[in-house]
Chain A
Amino acid sequence: MGAQLRVYKRRIQAVTATKKITKAMEMIAASRIVKAQRKVAASMPYATELTRAVTAVATGSNTNHPLTTEVEAPARAAVLLLTSDRGLAGGYSSNAIKAAERLRERLAAEGKEVDTYIVGRKGVAYYGFRERKVTESWTGFTDSPEYSDAKKIAAPLIESIQKDTAEGGVDELHIVFTEFVSMMTQNAVDGRMLPLSLDAVTSAADAEGTEKSGTKDEILPLFDFEPSAEDVLDALLPRYVESRIYNALLQAAASEHAARRRAMKSATDNAGDLIKSLSRLANAARQAEITQEISEIVGGAGALADASAGSDK
């Protein structure tokens, strides 16, 4: 076998092995999207009910809770960025990081300091490489987040928003995550979790598909609070933040799997194309080799025939 042909054969083998791996990853990701989507759907009733309860307290009482009132001149904001632990998911993590960068710039332009909280090894690596300060980070569960993970993340965030800005607390809480729209579309989005703006709450309730259409026009009944509106709000808001973070984590996980499936699908397709063109080249090389061998044989035979014809004379 000629050297050229051997090189092609070896490359075809290598690409075939890679294709098998990417194909397997594609199928694993595809099966996990379904599971992740089911988890998103399962968490929806809780999120919807909780949002409705928060709306009820916020509109039904005139308590001035620190978590619902806007600070006059917000000086510091916390940004929670959700990225993935593993790569090979196309632009998934970098899109989320870019969205966070845009948000940081916007907040900085408004004269706010930004505290960064990160979920996922990719985001941590990005900030670590640029030697930027990360207030806190969590890794190891972006594939399939549990509610306890959301609680773990929410705890320091709630603590810092309840502190005074002078003591290192924050006035606002933003979250950047990848929203799962469909199998083909995932968008990196940012949103403000706290302080609550009522429009955001009602539109979130709309988006989460409350069965009653036109929630905005619905007049909420006057509620009886047990034990009191303040206590209910105190207990409700941390749960609300946890549930929002949990929902974002689940959506981000579904998006991560979808992004990975797409990236691996294009890698598999690409490997297929590569194998095809490499086998064409290998065929041409083999044919050229055969042609060369034939012409060598014919040439050699001709030379021999000429030589013997000459000696006969």
Chain B
Amino acid sequence: MAAELHVELVAADRSVWSGEATLVVARTTSGDIGVMPGHQPLLGVLESGPVTIRTSDGGTVVAAVHGGFISFADNKLSLLAEIAELADEIDVQRAERALERAKSDTDAAAERRADVRLRAVAAH
């Protein structure tokens, strides 16, 4: 059996996903980072963006993460975010509407949020 690491994806008000994984790819402020089992202890600041988790049963979980942290130690990886959503939970039409609305209102933060959601769905 391939080596595994335990992943906890938690938002401020709930635990979004947890389970075993073989690879986690996330975007930190200094670039994309991939974490595999046995990685050196790490603590990084996340950019808004999709996070890809390759689960140990071969599946892929994609989540939209809006800022937060990644921390890895003892083969345990935590992704902390104020807001985090799984790609399955994202309502594409709503996100598209939000994107258009944000563009017309020139609300950069809302536009980025909607964009991250759509990219997470696309990567899924």
Q: Is A226 within 8 A of B30, CB to CB?
A: yes
Task: Among B12, B29, B68, point to the contact of A147 (Cβ < 8 A).
Answer: B12
Question: Which of B40-48, B101-109, B111-119 sits within the interface?
Answer: B40-48
Across the interface, which residues of B come within 8 angstroms of A57, CB to CB?
A: 43
Across the interface, which residues of A come within 8 angstroms of B44, CB to CB?
A: 225-227, 232
A residues sitting closer than 8 Å to B (CB atoms) are 39, 42-43, 45-46, 49-50, 52-53, 56-57, 60, 146-147, 220-227, 231-232, 235-236, 239, 242-243, 246
Give A201 to B13 CA distance when docked, in angstroms.
Answer: 20
Q: Is B11 within 8 A of A46, CB to CB?
A: yes
Give A50 to B10 CA distance when docked, in angstroms.
Answer: 10
B residues sitting closer than 8 Å to A (CB atoms) are 8, 10-15, 28-30, 33, 40-45, 68-71, 73-74, 78, 80, 82
Asked whether A226 and B71 contact (CB < 8 A) given A45-B15, A46-B13, the answer is no
Task: Among A221, A222, A227, point to the contact of B45 (Cβ < 8 A).
Answer: A227
Identify the closest chain A residue to B82 (Cβ).
Answer: A147
Across the interface, which residues of B come within 8 angstroms of A220, CB to CB?
A: 73
Q: Which of B10, B14, B33, B43 has the most CB of A within 10 A?
A: B43
Shortest distance between the CB of B12 and any CB in chain A (Å): 4
Q: Which of B12, B29, B30, B73 has the most CB of A within 10 A?
A: B12
Across the interface, which residues of A come within 8 angstroms of B14, CB to CB?
A: 42-43
Across the interface, which residues of B come within 8 angstroms of A226, CB to CB?
A: 28-30, 33, 42-45, 70
Shortest distance between the CB of A56 and any CB in chain B (Å): 6
Q: Is B80 within 8 A of A53, CB to CB?
A: yes
Across the interface, which residues of A come within 8 angstroms of B41, CB to CB?
A: 56, 221-224
Give A233 to B96 CA distance when docked, in angstroms.
Answer: 35
Q: Is A232 within 8 A of B43, CB to CB?
A: yes
Q: Is B10 within 8 A of A49, CB to CB?
A: yes
Q: Is A53 within 8 A of B43, CB to CB?
A: yes
Q: Is B43 within 8 A of A45, CB to CB?
A: no
Q: Which 6 A-B pairs have the closest CB atoms?
A: A226-B44, A221-B41, A227-B30, A45-B10, A147-B12, A49-B78
Shortest distance between the CB of B29 and any CB in chain A (Å): 6
Asked whether A147 and B13 contact (CB < 8 A) given A223-B41, A223-B43, A235-B45, the answer is yes
Give A52 to B43 CA distance when docked, in angstroms.
Answer: 11
Shortest distance between the CB of B35 and any CB in chain A (Å): 11
Across the interface, which residues of B come within 8 angstroms of A39, CB to CB?
A: 13
Give 11 A-B pairs besides A221-B73, A227-B28 with Cβ atoms closer than 8 angstroms: A43-B13, A46-B12, A49-B8, A49-B78, A50-B69, A52-B78, A53-B69, A53-B78, A146-B13, A147-B13, A220-B73
Give A46 to B78 CA distance when docked, in angstroms.
Answer: 9
Shortest distance between the CB of B103 and any CB in chain A (Å): 23
Give A50 to B81 CA distance when docked, in angstroms.
Answer: 10
Shortest distance between the CB of A38 and any CB in chain B (Å): 10
Q: Is A224 within 8 A of B13, CB to CB?
A: no
Q: Is A224 within 8 A of B12, CB to CB?
A: no
